[in-house]
Amino acid sequence: MRRGCLAICALVALCAWPHSLRAQARDSLTARLESAIAQYERGDRDSAKREFSRLINIYNARGGRLTDQELVVVAVALSYLGADEPQAFKDAMAVYDRAIAADPSNLEARVKLAELFLSKYNSADAKKTIAQVFSRNNDYVPALILEARRRDFDGEPGADSVLARALQREPENVGARVLRARFLADVEDFAGARREVDRALRANDANAEALAAGLALAVLAGDTGSNVSYGRRYKSLYPREAGAHVAVAEQLARVRQYEAAASWAREGVRIDSTNWQAHSVLGLNLLRLGEIVEARTSLETSFAGDPYNIWVKNTLDLLDTFTEYDEITHGRFRFMIEKAESRVMALYLGALADSAYATFSKRYGFSTTKPIRMEVYRSHADFSVRTVGLSGLGALGVSFGNTVAFISPAAKDAGMLNWASTAWHELAHTFTLGATDNRIPRWLSEGLSVYEERRGRRGWGQNVSPAFLQAYLDGKLLPPSRLNDGFVRPAYPQQVIFSYYQASLVCELIARDFGERALMEMLQGYRTGLSTDQVVRRVLKTDLPAFDRRFDAYMRERFGSAMNAVRDRSYLRIVATGRALLRRGDSAAAVAPLERARALFPEYGGGDGAYPHLVAALLAKGDRKRAAEVLSTMVGLGDVPYEIHVTRADLLLQTGDTAGAANALESAMFMNPYEIAEHERLAGLYTRIGERRKAIRERQAVVALNPVDRAEAYYQLAVAYRDAGATMDARRSILRALEDAPHFERAQELLLQLHEGNKP
Amino acid sequence: MRSRWRRSRNDVRRLTFDVGRLTLNALAVGLIAASSVHAQTSLVIVSGIGGEAKYTKAFGQLSSALAEAAHGRAKLADTSIIWLGDTAASAAKSRWYSGLSTRVNVERVLDGLADRRDGQVVVVLIGHGSGEGPETRISLPGPDMTATDFARVLSRFGNRRVAFINLTSASGDMLPLVAAPNRVVMTATKSAFQRNESQFARFFVDALSRDGADTDKDGRISLLEAFKYAESETKRYYETGGKLATENAQMADEGQLAGRFFLNAGGGGVGAGSNARLTALYAERSAFDDQIQSLKKRKTQMTADAYDAELERLLLALARKAREIRQLERGA
C-alpha cells in the first residue's frame, strides 16, 4: 500500500517527521532514514528501498539495544516497505509498540502508530492510541491534527475545533493548514480552502501534500493556470509519485465528480502502478459510475497490494455477493435486486422509476444517455459498504448520479423504511446532479430531494417535529449560508437529519417567494461553476446574510404558533393529558385535549404527538368515521409504520371508501411489500373499483412472493388478465396454475373458457 | 417462550385430579373402540401443560382448531377425534375433549387404537417440549412422555399407517427415535436446542383448517402439503418479521407416504361403481395425468414455447375429460 506510506507520510513527512528528524540530526539512523525518504520522493525508489531494508537489518542485528527513537525510525522504514510487502505494516505496528514500551513518554511513536491505524481505516484503535497521547499531553500538536482527522473519518463532532487548537499552537503547521483546507473544501468553501493551501505553501513550498491540495482545488475550480503550475511543481519534485493525482481524485469524489475522479485516479495508476490507493480510488469511483467489472479489477489490484484496506476488502466481499442478485433491465433503468425479492420489488420499482424519470427530466431539463443503475440491498451493512466502504452508515439511500442504491424494506437492520420515497429521493439527486454537471452543493441537492419527496406522494418526505423546532429555538439550526456544515460536519447527532428538512424548507421558501423557476436558475448557475454566494446574488437578487434573515422570518411565520407550543411545552403537556385519560379508559374525555394539542401543532404526525392517540380515543368511542379522517390527515404528514396504513385501509373499508382503502394499502406496500394477504386484498379492491392494471400487478405480486398455493395465485392472476382483456397472458398464467395442479377445477374451467372464447 | 417449563406444586393437584378423570378417559377409549369398525382415520391430539395463561390458551386454541378442521373439513367422525389436554383445556368444553393428557391416559388411548388393528392413526403433540435424545419430552400433567415412551407405544401399531406429528418446541431429537416404516414423523424443530415457541405448530394447524395448503387442488390436504405449507409460512414469518429463524421443521417419511396421507383417508370423490362410461373416463383421465407427468419430466429438454404448447394441449384434453366426468358424476 503506497497510500499506507503516504498516509503515514501525511503526518510523518509533512509535520512531525521532519521536525523530529532535524531535532536529532546527529542520530545516524535518523539521518539514514531521512536520506532514504528523500530518495524515495525523488523517484529513486530502488535505492530508497535498499536503505529501508538496511535499517531493518540493523534492527534485526541490534533490536534489543535500539532506543525508542531508533525503533520509531525502523517502524517508519517498515511502513515504506509495506508498499511491496503488506506484512511490513504489521511489523511496523509491532516495532511502534516496542518503542512505546521502551519509553512510554514517546508521544511521537504513539501518534505514528495511531496514524498507521487510521491509514488502515481502523479508527477505533487510532482513537485509543490518540487518547493515550492526550493523557500525557493534551496539547501535543501532531496528536491534535490526527485527532481532527480521526473525528472527520468517524463523522464525529469536533474535528474543526480540535484542528483549531492545533493551529492556535502552531499557526504555520503545514499539515494542519492542509487539513483545514480539506475541511473547508468539504463544506464547499473553496476560496477559504485555497487561502489555507497558499499559507501552507508559504511555510513550505515543496510540501507534497500542500501542492497536491493546491492542485486539487485548482482542478475543482477549473483554474487552468494554477492547475498547470501546481502540477509542474509537484512533478518536478516527486516525479514518480501519484499522490497528487490521488488527492485530486479524492477531492473530486467528495464533491460528487466521480467521472473526473476516476479519470485522475486512472492517470495516477499510470504514473505509479504500485500506488494501491490510486487503484482503490479508481475502483471505488468506477463502482459509483456503475462500471462494476472494471471496478472489481482495480479493487482486486489494490487489495493484492494492500490487504489491510478495510474499505477495499469490504467492497470486494460485497461484490462477491452480486451473484445473489438479479439484474433486470427496465427501459432506461437497470435494477440490481437480490433474487429473493427481485420479482416483487421490480413490479413496483419499474413504475416508480418511470414516473420519477418523467417528472424530473421535465422539471430539471435533464435526461440521461446512460442507463440509471438502481441497486437494492436487503442488508443495511451491505448498503453501507457500498456507500462508504464500512458498515454503520445511518443513511437509507445514496445517489452517485447515474448509480443509485437504497435499502430494501426487507433489511432487518433498517428499521421503519419507506423504500419508495427513498428511491424517489435518490432519483431526484440523479437529476439535480445531472442538471448541474455534479456541481450542485450538498445542501441544495438534499433539500430538493426532500422537497421532491413531499411533492411525489402525499405522506412522503420529512416533516416538522417538536425536536426540530426546539433546535431552532435553541439556535442549533444553521443559517442557509452555512447549511452544508450540517451535512458534512454536524455539531450534534441530529443535525444531519434536521439539515435535510431545513434544506427542503429553504427550497420551499425559494419556490414561494421567487418561483419554481428560480430553483432551476440556481441549478444553471451552479452548472456554470458559480458559488452559492454568486448564485444567490444572481438569481435571488440578494446576498447571503439577507437571505439568511429571510429564511429566519419564514421559519417564524410558518411555524410561529407551533414554536410557542414547543417553547412553553404546552403541546407535549396537553398530549400527555390526553394520553393519561386514554390510559385510564376515559376515551371520551381524552378527545378534547388531544384535539386541542392537534390544533396547536397540526403539522406534526409523529408517534408521540396528538394524532395517533386521538385516533385511538375516537376508535374507543366508536367514532370510526372521524378516526379515519384524523388518521388520513396523520398519514399525510409523513411516514408512518406499515400497520398504520393497514389499519387505515380497514377503517376506510368499514366506512365504505373502497378507493381510499386501496390507496391506503398501496401506501402500505411502500413500507412492506411482502404480505401476501394484503396483496390479495388490494387486488380485490382494485378489481372492485375497476383498476384492472393495478389488480394485475397485485396478483403478480402474490405470484412473485412464491406463495405455498401457487396454483391459486396463478389462477387469480389469470382471472385478472382475463378481466383486463389480456387473453394470451391469461392463458400463460392458467397453464402455470394447472402445471402445478392439473385437477384444479376452476382453473380447468377458465382454460376451457379462454379457448372457447366465453366468459363465465 | 421459555425453553422449558418447571412444574409447580399445582401439578400435584393436577395429578390428584387426573385420577378422578380416569373413568371418563376409560369411557373415551371404549367409545373409540366401539366406533373403530367404520373409522378410517383416528386423530389423537395431545396438548401439554401451558404453565402460563397465554400458552395454556394458545395450546387449547390450536388443539381445538385442529379438531374442528379434522371434523369440519376432513369429515372425521366425532368419535374419531380424541383430544387429551390439561385441566385448562377441559374448561374449553370442547366436544372432542376426552380427558387429561396424562401419560397414563395417552398410553391408554394409543393402546386402544393399536388394538383395533385397522385404520390409520394421526398423533399430534402440542405444547412445551424439552430434553434431548431419548429424553426429548412433552410437558404433560404429571409425568412427561419421552421419545422412548412414544417409540414404545407406537411400536404396537406394527406396520399400520401412523403419522406422529410433534409440534412442540425442542422436538427435533424425537424424529429418529420414533421413525419407522409406514410411518410419517414430523417435528417442529430439527434439534433439542431450538427451544423457542414453535410457529410451525400454528401454521401446520392453519394448513389443515384454512384454504391455501391444497396446492394440487384435489380438494384434500395431504400431510406433505400441510408440512410444506407450515414450513414455508414459518420461514416467511421470520423473514418478514425481520427475525432470525429459531426453528426448522423436519420430516421422516420412509416410503414417501406423507403425500398420500390424508386425514380423510376414505375421501377422493365419487366411485365409478357400475357406470362403465365413468370407469372409461377415469381411465382416460388417468392416461392424461401420466402424459402430463411425463411431459413435465422432459421440460428442461424442450424450448419454453414447445413445452407450453404441448402442456396446453394435454391440459385442455384433461379439462374436457374432467368436465365430462363431473357432469356424469352429478347425474349419478
What one-character-per-residue DSSP string does A648-684 give? HHHHHHHTT-HHHHHHHHHHHHTT-TT-HHHHHHHHH
User: Which residues partner with A685 through β-bridges?
Assistant: none
Q: Report residue B248 as a C-alpha cell.
A: 426448522
- In the prediction, which pLDDT does A475 show? 96
**CA A279, chain centre distance (Å):** 22
Q: Please judge whether B240 and A675 are an interchain contact, meaning their C-beta atoms are less than 8 angstroms apart.
A: yes
Mean pLDDT along residues A575-598: 95
Kindly give the pairing relationship between strand A403-407 and strand A333-338.
Answer: unpaired
Residues of A within 8 A of B288 (CB-CB) are 742
A413, A672, A709, best to mutate vs chain B, most B CBs in 10 Å: A709
Q: Check CB contact of B292 with chain A, cutoff 8 Å.
A: yes
Strand ranges (E), chain B: 41-47, 81-85, 97-100, 120-126, 129-130, 137-138, 145-146, 162-166, 183-187, 250-253
Residues of B within 8 A of A742 (CB-CB) are 216, 288-289, 292, 315, 318
Q: CA of A738, closest CA in chain B: separation in Å?
A: 7
Nearest to A708 among B215, B240, B323 (CB): B215
Q: CA of A16, closest CA in chain B: separation in Å?
A: 50
A748, A754, A755, best to mutate vs chain B, most B CBs in 10 Å: A748
- In the prediction, which pLDDT does B273 show? 61
Q: Please judge whether B240 and A732 are an interchain contact, meaning their C-beta atoms are less than 8 angstroms apart.
A: no
Q: CA of B182, closest CA in chain A: separation in Å?
A: 26
Mean pLDDT, chain B, whole residue set: 82
**H/E element holding A262?**
helix A258-271
The answer to which of A161-165, A610-614, B38-42, B194-198 has the lowest mean pLDDT is B38-42
Q: Please judge whether B312 and A731 are an interchain contact, meaning their C-beta atoms are less than 8 angstroms apart.
A: yes
Chain B CA closest to residue A740: B216
Residues of A within 8 A of B318 (CB-CB) are 742-743, 748
Cα–Cα dist A150/A154, whole Å: 6
Mean pLDDT, chain A, whole residue set: 90
Strand ranges (E), A221-351: 325-330, 333-338
pLDDT in tens, A447-485: 999 999 999 999 999 999 999 999 999 999 999 999 998
Q: CA of B273, closest CA in chain A: separation in Å?
A: 21
- In the prediction, which pLDDT does A84 show? 80
Asked if pLDDT for residue A620 goes beyond 70, the answer is: yes
Cα–Cα dist A54/B165, whole Å: 74
Query: Is residue B139 classed exposed, middle or buried when 0-12, 13-18 and 19+ CB atoms within 10 A define those classes?
Result: buried
Residues of A within 8 A of B213 (CB-CB) are 708-709
Q: Check CB contact of B236 with chain A, cutoff 8 Å.
A: yes
DSSP B262: B
Q: Which residues contact A151 (CB under 8 A, 6 or more apart)?
A: A157, A158, A159, A162
Nearest to A741 among B215, B228, B242 (CB): B215
Which residue from A479, A462, A483 is spatially nearest to A639, judged by alpha carbons? Answer: A462
Chain A CA closest to residue B313: A735
Cα–Cα dist B224/B186, whole Å: 10
Angle made by CA atoms A618, A624, A627, in degrees to the nearest 5: 50
Q: Please judge whether A743 and B217 are an interchain contact, meaning their C-beta atoms are less than 8 angstroms apart.
A: yes
> Residues of chain B whose pLDDT is less than 50?
1-39, 267-269
Contact A318, A325 (CB under 8 A): no
Q: CA of B218, closest CA in chain A: separation in Å?
A: 6
Contact A413, A381 (CB under 8 A): yes
Q: Check CB contact of B217 with chain A, cutoff 8 Å.
A: yes
Q: Report residue A555 as a C-alpha cell.
A: 421559519
Say what percent of chain A tops pLDDT 90. Answer: 75
Asked if pLDDT for residue A578 goes beyond 90, the answer is: yes
Place of cell 501542492: A211
Which residue from B190, B85, B77, B80 is spatially nearest to B138, judged by alpha carbons? Answer: B85
Tell me which residues of chain B, numbers 23 to 82, contact chain A at a CB-CB cutoff of 8 Å: none
Q: Check CB contact of B326 with chain A, cutoff 8 Å.
A: yes
Phi (first) and psi of residue A296, to 5 degrees? -60, -40
A736, A743, A750, A752, best to mutate vs chain B, most B CBs in 10 Å: A743
- In the prediction, which pLDDT does B89 show? 63
Asked if pLDDT for residue A716 goes beyond 50, the answer is: yes
Under 8 Å CB pairs connecting chains A and B tally to 85
End-to-end CA distance of chain B: give it in Å, rounded: 54
Q: Please judge whether A712 and B211 are an interchain contact, meaning their C-beta atoms are less than 8 angstroms apart.
A: yes
User: Which residues partner with B222 through β-bridges?
Assistant: B262
Q: Check CB contact of B312 with chain A, cutoff 8 Å.
A: yes
Cα–Cα dist A277/A306, whole Å: 9
Mean pLDDT along residues A61-78: 86
Q: Which residues contact B47 (CB under 8 A, 6 or more apart)?
A: B59, B60, B62, B63, B83, B84, B85, B86, B89, B101, B125, B126, B127
Chain B CA closest to residue A711: B215
Chain B CA closest to residue A411: B242
Q: Check CB contact of B215 with chain A, cutoff 8 Å.
A: yes
Contact A701, A344 (CB under 8 A): yes
Nearest to A711 among B215, B296, B320 (CB): B215
A192 pLDDT tier (thresholds 50, 70, 90): very high
> Quick check: helix, strand or coil at residue B97?
strand
pLDDT in tens, A655-673: 999 999 999 999 999 999 9
Q: Please judge whether B242 and A741 are an interchain contact, meaning their C-beta atoms are less than 8 angstroms apart.
A: no
pLDDT in tens, A219-267: 988 888 888 888 899 999 998 899 999 999 999 998 889 999 999 999 9
Q: Which residues contact A748 (CB under 8 A, 6 or more apart)?
A: A738, B315, B318, B319, B322, B323
Cα–Cα dist A242/A12, whole Å: 18
Cα–Cα dist A714/B215, whole Å: 11
Q: Report residue B170 as a C-alpha cell.
A: 425442542
pLDDT in tens, A723-757: 999 999 999 999 999 999 999 999 999 999 999 87
Q: Check CB contact of B228 with chain A, cutoff 8 Å.
A: yes
* Number of other CB atoms surrounding residue A472 within 10 Å: 19
Q: Report residue A443 as a C-alpha cell.
A: 445542501
Mean pLDDT along residues A347-359: 96
Mean pLDDT along residues A671-686: 95
- In the prediction, which pLDDT does B9 show? 31
Q: Report residue B257 as a C-alpha cell.
A: 407416504
DSSP B197: P
Most confident of A58-62, A678-682, B46-50, B197-201: A678-682
Q: Which residues contact A546 (CB under 8 A, 6 or more apart)?
A: none
Residues of B within 8 A of A747 (CB-CB) are 217
Q: CA of A683, closest CA in chain B: separation in Å?
A: 17
Q: Which residues of A touch chain B, with CB atoms under 8 Å apart?
A: 410, 412, 672, 674-676, 706-712, 731-732, 735, 738-745, 747-749, 751-752, 755
- In the prediction, which pLDDT does A63 show? 64
Residues of A within 8 A of B236 (CB-CB) are 674, 676
Q: Please judge whether A709 and B215 are an interchain contact, meaning their C-beta atoms are less than 8 angstroms apart.
A: yes
> Quick check: helix, strand or coil at residue B146?
strand
Q: Which has more pLDDT, A369 or A594?
A: A594
- In the prediction, which pLDDT does B268 show? 45
Cα–Cα dist A525/A538, whole Å: 8
Q: CA of B222, closest CA in chain A: separation in Å?
A: 13
Cα–Cα distance list, A499 to A357, A463, A533, B239 (Å)? 26, 12, 19, 34
Which residue from A462, A491, A496, A474 is spatially nearest to A638, judged by alpha carbons? Answer: A462
Cα–Cα dist B69/B61, whole Å: 12
**CA B102, chain centre distance (Å):** 21
| Sign, Cα dihedral of A49, A54, A55, A56 | positive
Angle made by CA atoms B312, B316, B320, in degrees to the nearest 5: 175
Q: Report residue A468 as a C-alpha cell.
A: 426540530
Chain A CA closest to residue B310: A735
DSSP A371: P
Nearest to A739 among B244, B311, B322 (CB): B311
B204, B211, B215, B220, best to mutate vs chain A, most A CBs in 10 Å: B215
| Sign, Cα dihedral of B296, B298, B300, B304 | negative
Residues of A within 8 A of B320 (CB-CB) are 752
Residues of A within 8 A of B217 (CB-CB) are 711-712, 741, 743-745, 747
Q: Please judge whether A752 and B319 are an interchain contact, meaning their C-beta atoms are less than 8 angstroms apart.
A: yes
Place of cell 458498515: A391
